[in-house]
Structure 1
Amino acid sequence: MHLIDIGANLTHDSFDHDRDAVLARAAAAGVAQMVVTGASREHSPQALALAQAHPGVLFATAGVHPHHAVEYTDECDAQMRALHVHPEVVAVGECGLDYFRDFSPRPAQRRAFERQLQIAADLAAAGTPKPLFLHQRDAHADFMAVMRNFDGRHGPAVVHCFTGTRAEMFDCLDRDWHIGITGWLCDERRGAHLREIVKNIPANRLMVETDAPYLLPRTLRPMPKDRRNEPAFLPHIVEELARDRGEDPATTAANATAATRAFFGLPAPR
């Protein structure tokens, strides 16, 4: 398989002691490229630095996750805009709404989300559009309402780490958004419903990701002793996804990689 992990939190401190080895294991497993998630004022610049240190292999997003929405000040907005000048930053986000944990007050979440959507709108208006890397959990109605306010003003969008219902998925697909599938699919406690609906995602709008170090696939054998997820486990997710879609894993992998490359405008790996 030749795969691209669209969501890896490689700036997480759990990778500090063996990040190079993690990248080597990913390459050996067929994960040729990765998009490093920038999800806060601290980690978005770090994601860019990683991408610059591994040209053609790592790319970055720049944004502020709803958990960190309270940090989205005018200064933060200027910092995000400065990051988006760099070509290694290939998407706006991770941004969106998360009402499951409410680590930031909901009004602050909505304000931070709107300001990042405005960045995407300004980039599109300037003729340099970048995709949106979106997060939504237990906030579908408000999420869709905020997005509607920016209809026609931003580039393509992917709902990263999709965990929602069939109806929510079709709401996203009806708006021509992409869907990112993680190891949540492999969780018999929370993700069983995904196995029934992933077959409905068009091949050209399906992408795959680990969300490492989070969401270690519960069906992975053997389990790593540290219970840390990493990009090398992406082929396992693809195999499970292919089975649920009734496809050969090579087909699922090839389609997801083609969709990802077109979405982010990524070059072929060297």
Structure 2
Amino acid sequence: MRERCKGALPLADTDATFDDFLPEALRFRSPAPLVDIGANLTHDSFARDLEAVVQRSRAANVTTLIVTGTDLAHAEQAVALAQRFPGVYATAGVHPHDASRWDTDLAAGMAELHRRPEVVAVGECGLDFNRNFSTPAEQEHAFEAQLGLAAESGKPLFIHERDAGRRMREMLKTWRDDIADAVVHCFTADRDTLHGYLDLDLHIGLTGWICDERRGHHLRELVKEIPLERLMVETDCPYLLPRDLPAKLKGRRNEPALLPWIVREIAHWRSNDEAELGRATSETAIRFFRLPLNGEPQDNGRPPQES
């Protein structure tokens, strides 16, 4: 999930160190290694302390980060971060907010990025009929094109959907046999939409939205209905800072080190053991994104189609 804003979120204190940026009450450590499948680390708010952010994620046992690429420039930056930091990977796509920019040159640039080993998914792409920064027709055109790129590359889809569940399911249904896998990241919709996605054999990404007492109550009931093998977790940082954290955070910037708190919350509402949930979501993410296992990348079982 990405909101368009005029300026960056407040920057972290430039004098803050790896040890003192997070209050002690927010220095969580997961009992199991975690994969954050949606981290917007190319956001300006991470520019001054990115290395410390990655260090804090490691200290929290968030060992793998998927950096979201929402347009060509940010996807290229995500690849650069993946080259810089071990355990960091990238996605490459065009967010529905920017769908009006889709053209042949952009399509070619995305196809080239999808050939990079650092890029593990096509996206963030999809439909957002809530804000309509691009028209629905422009969004559908760009999403259809990226569905085609996912089919050609054999890489999974990283999907954004807001207030567009019915149309999203219609489009995905026509492509489902051609694409490897897909995850609806930052899922916030209703029960019917959830089960529509599960019926299409999609995965579901959950964020700190579930920690929001104002709008996350329905998710607390729905999480039990998501099969554990279809569930993944994410911060969507710097957005969606959990509202129920036990201490205040200066700047209110979310970051991967806070993922264990989100996992703890999900585990509570699912009546799962926290470590069990952490292990299961990480195993699912490693399999879904075909991340290196014992030094060897995994095969999704579907060879890329001829272009």
Q: Offset of 1:266 from its aligned partner?
A: 1.1
**Structure 1 counterpart of 2:218, one-letter code:** H
Counterpart of 1:151 in structure 2 is: 176
Counterpart of 1:11 in structure 2 is: 42
**Mapped pair 1:60 → 2:87:** no
SS in 2 for 1:149: helix
- Maintained 8 Å contact 1:160/1:180: yes
So what's the TM-score if we normalise by structure 2?
Answer: 0.84
SS in 2 for 1:226: helix
- Maintained 8 Å contact 2:176/2:200: no
Indicate the RMSD between aligned Cα atoms, in angstroms. Answer: 1.1
- Maintained 8 Å contact 2:173/2:200: no
The 1-side partners of 2:226 and 2:104 are apart by 38
Q: Which of 103, 119, 133 is the aligned partner of 1:103? A: 133
Q: Offset of 1:4 from its aligned partner?
A: 0.4
Instruction: Label 1:269 to 1:16 Cα distance change in 2 as closer, same or farther (>3 A).
Output: farther
Counterpart of 2:53 in structure 1 is: 22
SS in 2 for 1:180: strand
**Mapped pair 1:212 → 2:248:** no
Structure 1 residue ranges (4+ consecutive) displaced by more than 6 angstroms after TM superposition:
none
SS in 1 for 2:272: coil
- Maintained 8 Å contact 2:166/2:193: no
**Structure 1 counterpart of 2:51, one-letter code:** D
The 1-side partners of 2:56 and 2:247 are apart by 15
Q: Which runs of 5+ in 1 are unaligned?
A: 124-128
Q: Which has the larger radius of gyration?
A: 2
The 2-side partners of 1:149 and 1:78 are apart by 23
Q: Offset of 1:269 from its aligned partner?
A: 8.5
**Structure 2 counterpart of 1:10, one-letter code:** L
Give deviations 1:93-112, integer Å, cap 9, x for gaps.
00100011111111111101
Q: Offset of 1:72 from its aligned partner?
A: 1.0
Q: Offset of 1:151 from its aligned partner?
A: 2.6
Over the matched positions of the two proteins, sequence identity in percent amounts to 53
Q: Offset of 1:149 from its aligned partner?
A: 2.3
